[in-house]
Amino acid sequence: MTRPAKVELDLGALRNNLQVVRKAAPAARVWSVVKANAYGHGLAHVWSTMRATDGFAMLNIEEAILLREAGWKGPVLMLEGFFSADELPLFDQYRLTTSVHSNWQLKALAEARLKAPLDIYLKINSGMNRLGFAPSRVAVIYQQLRRISNVGEITLMAHFADADKPDGVDQAMTRIELAAGEIDAPRSLANSAATLWHPHTQHQWVRPGIILYGASPSGNWQDIANTGLKPVMTFNSAIIGVQNLMPGERVGYGSRFQAPREMRIGIVAAGYADGYPRCAPDSTPVAVEGVMSGTVGMVSMDMLAVDLTPCPQAGIGSPVELWGNLVKIDAVAQAAGTVGYELMCAKAPRVPVVVKH
């Protein structure tokens, strides 16, 4: 008998979420961000459903090649650019747009032998201090790029560290405007949070990521509850065992949970080896037969326990939603002290994926 843990992907929800993005940014073109294997959803599973996008943005050259060989002919943006000069022939062959964030990349572009110029995203350090050129250097770098024959269209690019806050883009936009100066070039600034909540950052291109998959960039589902966004990923399993506890009996490794009364618990076929967070505390939300309940005890490698008090009818074989439409992934992440991004990306390869069109 097949182990019941599985992930379901609702491609209708994915199409819906792309439409929500277009309504939020009607004048901008959309880079659909599919890094980390489409945020754990599986690029091969989802990309064709996202054909209505204007372009795909990612990190790994292997995933870019997958898209090209699957038939995508539109723009592909490599968010961290090329990692060595040796990759430039592949960027040339597969016609990839590259970000440029460091001096060595300028030299590599100037010296490369390419069949045609590559479009460039010039990365501005907006104060996040990951990648990008300081604002005071951007005008000079832009002129250097324009003198390189291997460079095609140049777009100014930046990122926001705090766009989920009401005033979270203000300081970054000051730095970006300082950097852009009189440069007449398209801009791509807005991530998911800025696309939803700071429309003045949208410009020519937006780069939604987490909202395409139906979770909140702030980590709080209530922040997007009225946007029309829908969860794409549902993590399901089932109860494979039931225990009747007396008051004082304990559950799981470390005996963390102690029954306060007589109670029934269900043992669910899912654990941290499947991608469920081991650090999830007692009462992390789950749904058993559609009824909200919570976890009890430490999450094991292959199993976790849930309280059956709210659903006394539940037993062997009862379906359990670990996150999805009823149990928001943001709520599970908040309980576990992390973010929905991490839970999506943590889905283990051993968990089968069922695609709903």
Q: Answer for the pair 88, 114: CB distance below 8 angstroms, yes or no.
A: yes
Residue from 6, 23, 253, 272 carrying the catalytic annotation: 253
Instruction: Compute the distance between CA of residue 22 and CA of residue 19 in angstroms, rounded to an integer.
Output: 5
- Our answer to whether residue 94 is catalytic in this structure is no
- Provide the 10 A C-beta neighbour count for residue 44: 14
Instruction: Compute the distance between CA of residue 209 and CA of residue 297 in angstroms, rounded to an integer.
Output: 33
Residue from 35, 123, 328, 347 carrying the catalytic annotation: 35
- Our answer to whether residue 347 is catalytic in this structure is no
Instruction: Compute the distance between CA of residue 143 and CA of residue 147 in angstroms, rounded to an integer.
Output: 7
Q: Which residues pair with 156 in a beta bridge?
A: 122, 187
Q: Answer for the pair 335, 322: CB distance below 8 angstroms, yes or no.
A: no
Output the CA–CA distances (angstroms, integers) from residue 54 to 22, 30, 37, 38, in the order listed.
11, 5, 19, 16
Could you list the beta-strand ranges (E) of the chain.
6-10, 29-33, 55-58, 76-78, 97-100, 118-123, 151-157, 187-190, 205-206, 233-245, 250-251, 257-258, 263-268, 285-288, 291-296, 304-307, 319-323, 353-356
Structure tokens at 56: 């795909």
**Angle formed by the axes of helices 135-146 and 170-180, nearest 10°:** 40
- 83 Cβ contact list (under 8 Å, min separation 6): none
Structure tokens at 200: 């003045």
Structure tokens at 271: 């654990």
Tokens 């009462």 belong to residue: 283
Q: Which residues are catalytic?
A: 35, 253
